[in-house]
Amino acid sequence: MNLGLDEYAHLDSPLHRWEPRYKLVGLLVLAFAFSFVQDPRLLPAMLAAAFALYVVSRLPLSFLLTRLRVPGSFLLAVALLLPLFSGSTVLLRIGPLALREEGCLDLLLVVTKFIAILTTGLVLFGTAPFLTTIKAMRALGLPSVLSDMTLLTYRYLYEIGDDLETMETAMGLRGFRARRFNGRTLGVLASLAGSILVRSYEQSERVYKAMILRGYGHSSPPHDVAQARPRDVIALGGVLTLAAGFVATEILLRGFGG
Amino acid sequence: MHIPDGILPAAVSAAGYATAGAATWHSLRQINQKEDPRESIPKASLLTAAFFAASWIHIPVPPTSVHLVLNGLLGAVLGYYAFPAILIGLFFQAVMFQHGGLTSLGVNATMMGVPALLAHFIFRLRNVVGKESRMWTGVFGFLAGAGGLGIAALISLILLVTTIPAHLDVEAERASIYALTLAHAPLMALEGAFTALVVLFLQRVRPELLED
Separation of alpha carbons B165 and A209, rounded Å: 53
Once rounded to an integer, what is the mean pLDDT over residues A168-184?
A: 87
At B200, the pLDDT band (50, 70, 90 cuts) reads very high
Which range of residues forms the domain containing residue A201? 143-213
Q: How far is B175 from chain A (nearest CA, A)?
A: 14
Q: Check whether residue A54 and residue A87 sit in a common domain.
A: yes
Question: Of the given ranges (A69-78, A138-147, B35-44), which has the lowest mean pLDDT?
Answer: A69-78
Note whether B202 contacts A: Cβ–Cβ < 8 A.
Answer: yes
Once rounded to an integer, what is the mean pLDDT over residues A106-110?
A: 83
Q: Is residue A220 pLDDT above 70, yes or no?
A: no
Give the tens place of pLDDT for each residue, A76-94: 776 666 666 666 666 666 6
Q: Check whether residue A150 and residue A125 sit in a common domain.
A: no
Q: Check whether residue A153 and residue A205 sit in a common domain.
A: yes
Residue B168 has a pLDDT of 62
Asked whether the beta carbons of residue A193 and residue B168 sit closer than 8 angstroms, the reply is: no
Q: What is the ipTM of this complex?
A: 0.89
At A140, the pLDDT band (50, 70, 90 cuts) reads very high
Once rounded to an integer, what is the mean pLDDT over residues B28-48?
A: 85
Residue B147 has a pLDDT of 94
More confident site: B100 or B206: B206
Percent of chain A with pLDDT over 90: 43
Residues of chain A with Cβ-Cβ distance to B206 below 8 Å are 198, 201
Q: Check whether residue A16 and residue A88 sit in a common domain.
A: yes
Residues of chain B with Cβ-Cβ distance to A32 below 8 Å are 10, 13-14, 103
Residue A44 has a pLDDT of 94
Once rounded to an integer, what is the mean pLDDT over residues A213-230?
A: 72
Once rounded to an integer, what is the mean pLDDT over residues B160-176?
A: 70
Contact (Cβ atoms closer than 8 angstroms) between residue A32 and residue B13: yes
Once rounded to an integer, what is the mean pLDDT over residues B85-113?
A: 90
Q: Check whether residue A121 and residue A44 sit in a common domain.
A: yes
Q: How far is B164 from chain A (nearest CA, A)?
A: 8
Percent of chain A with pLDDT over 70: 83
Q: Is residue B130 pLDDT above 60, yes or no?
A: yes
Q: Is residue B34 pLDDT above 90, yes or no?
A: no
Contact (Cβ atoms closer than 8 angstroms) between residue A41 and residue A253: yes
Separation of alpha carbons A148 and B184, rounded Å: 35
Residue A34 has a pLDDT of 93
At A249, the pLDDT band (50, 70, 90 cuts) reads very high
More confident site: B176 or A165: A165
Asked whether the beta carbons of residue A118 and residue B47 sit closer than 8 angstroms, the reply is: no
How many structural domains comprise chain A?
2
Among candidates A4, A82, A159 on the partner chain, residue whose Cβ is nearest the Cβ of B96:
A4
* A243 falls within a domain: yes
Q: Check whether residue A203 and residue A236 sit in a common domain.
A: no
Dmax over Cα atoms in chain A, in whole Å? 73
Among candidates B7, B167, B194 on the partner chain, residue whose Cβ is nearest the Cβ of A190:
B194
Residue B163 has a pLDDT of 76
Q: Is residue A127 pLDDT above 90, yes or no?
A: yes
Asked whether the beta carbons of residue B96 and residue A3 sit closer than 8 angstroms, the reply is: yes
At A226, the pLDDT band (50, 70, 90 cuts) reads low
Question: Of the given ranges (A47-56, A67-76, B4-13, B107-116), which has the lowest mean pLDDT?
Answer: A67-76
Asked whether the beta carbons of residue A149 and residue B59 sit closer than 8 angstroms, the reply is: no
Mutate to test the interface with B, among A120, A185, A197, A204 (most CBs of B within 10 A): A197
Contact (Cβ atoms closer than 8 angstroms) between residue A250 and residue A37: yes
CB hemisphere CA count around A124 (13 angstroms): 29
Once rounded to an integer, what is the mean pLDDT over residues B48-70?
A: 84
Q: Check whether residue A111 and residue A203 sit in a common domain.
A: no
More confident site: B145 or A3: B145
Residue A2 has a pLDDT of 46
Type of residue numbered A67: R
Note whether B51 contacts A: Cβ–Cβ < 8 A.
Answer: yes
Q: Looking at the domain that runs over B10-210, which CATH code has it been given?
A: 1.10.1760.20
Question: Of the given ranges (A58-72, A162-176, A213-227, B16-30), which has the lowest mean pLDDT?
Answer: A213-227
* A58 falls within a domain: yes
Across chain B, mean pLDDT equals 87
* A218 falls within a domain: no
How is chain B split into domains, by residue range? 10-210
Q: What angle do the packed helices B82-97 and B10-32 form, to 10 degrees? A: 140
* A221 falls within a domain: no
Asked whether the beta carbons of residue A190 and residue B49 sit closer than 8 angstroms, the reply is: no
Q: Check whether residue A187 and residue A249 sit in a common domain.
A: no
* A233 falls within a domain: yes
At B166, the pLDDT band (50, 70, 90 cuts) reads low
At A1, the pLDDT band (50, 70, 90 cuts) reads very low
**Contacting B residues, span 125-154, partner chain A, CB-CB under 8 Å:** none
CB hemisphere CA count around A145 (13 angstroms): 26
Q: Check whether residue A192 and residue A110 sit in a common domain.
A: no
Name the residue among A116, A46, A82 with its Cα closest to residue B6: A116
Residues of chain A with Cβ-Cβ distance to B202 below 8 Å are 194, 197-198
Nearest residue on chain A to B32, alpha-carbon basis: A145
Across chain A, mean pLDDT equals 85
Look up the pTM and report it: 0.89
Residues of chain B with Cβ-Cβ distance to A9 below 8 Å are none
Q: Check whether residue A246 and residue A124 sit in a common domain.
A: yes
Asked whether the beta carbons of residue B53 and residue A28 sit closer than 8 angstroms, the reply is: no
Q: Check whether residue A172 and residue A238 sit in a common domain.
A: no
Nearest residue on chain A to B49, alpha-carbon basis: A157
Angle at A152 between CA A217 and CA A170, to 5 degrees: 135
What 3-state DSSP class applies to A122? helix
Q: Check whether residue A35 and residue A148 sit in a common domain.
A: no
**Where does B33-168 have alpha helices with state H?**
40-54, 71-78, 82-97, 105-124, 126-129, 134-163
Once rounded to an integer, what is the mean pLDDT over residues A142-149?
A: 90
Q: Is residue B165 pLDDT above 60, yes or no?
A: no
Asked whether the beta carbons of residue A112 and residue B6 sit closer than 8 angstroms, the reply is: yes
Asked whether the beta carbons of residue B6 and residue A207 sit closer than 8 angstroms, the reply is: no
* A219 falls within a domain: no
